[in-house]
Amino acid sequence: MKYEIKGGNFPVVICQVEANSSVRCQKGAMAWMSPNMEMQTKGGGIGKMFGKMLSGESMFENIYTAQGSDGMIAFTTSVPGNIMPFELDGTNSIIGQKCAYLACDSGVNMEITFQKKFGAGLVGGEGFIMEKFTGTGTVLLEVDGAVIEKELAPGEELIAETGALCAMESTVTMDVVTVKGLGNMLVGGEGFFNTKLTGPGKIWLQTMPIMSLAGSIAPYIPSR
């Protein structure tokens, strides 16, 4: 699948699909397409559907196939931010935050992965459940705000605000650390916990987690 990302802070990815090839996407992600793109909606079995529900994704996904000749399809994000492509070659894998999945080649597999350390799942900003992508092909993830890429050396640690992690290589481990000091917890505005990421591997951080965005605009929304 060839693709081009446009649109700045309101991105769209325009994908060129070879004849009789398919691309999968999250429900509602399609913006426009050529007339020969045929859609099928599938759930992928009870186990996969339940896993998607736990991760916050729709239980169903749409599969678009270019019928007879090359086709074109465009996908957009649900919030302002970026679209981040990852190339999988069958030997690597990517772990993303819940609801990060936008679209992928038919050769990419998405499964639910649980954080190894239970504490990270209970109180970490990314939750106990994340999305793991394996296989071969391109996977496109949504980023809330701008994206910052950083590579952690073996044993190198980084403390991030909960929700700031967008994606990481599977070699990176994630845990939770408590904000020190009761006063800091109560009035510091950063919450009780932070996310600790330990290398080796690459991580991708996002500057505007959706929960932070929602909290910023909530005071300006009239209540009935």
The mean pLDDT of 40-56, rounded to a whole number, is 59
User: In the chain, what are the domain boundaries?
Assistant: 2-217
CB 110 within 8 A of CB 140: no
% of the chain beyond a pLDDT of 70 = 80
Q: Which residues pair with 16 in a beta bridge?
A: 2, 72
Question: Closest Cα to residue 14, out of 83, 109, 117?
Answer: 83
The Cα 40–Cα 42 span in angstroms is 6
pLDDT in tens, 168-186: 999 999 888 887 655 444 4
> Does the domain at residues 2-217 carry the CATH identifier 3.60.160.10?
yes
Q: What is the pTM of this model?
A: 0.81
The mean pLDDT of 2-28, rounded to a whole number, is 94
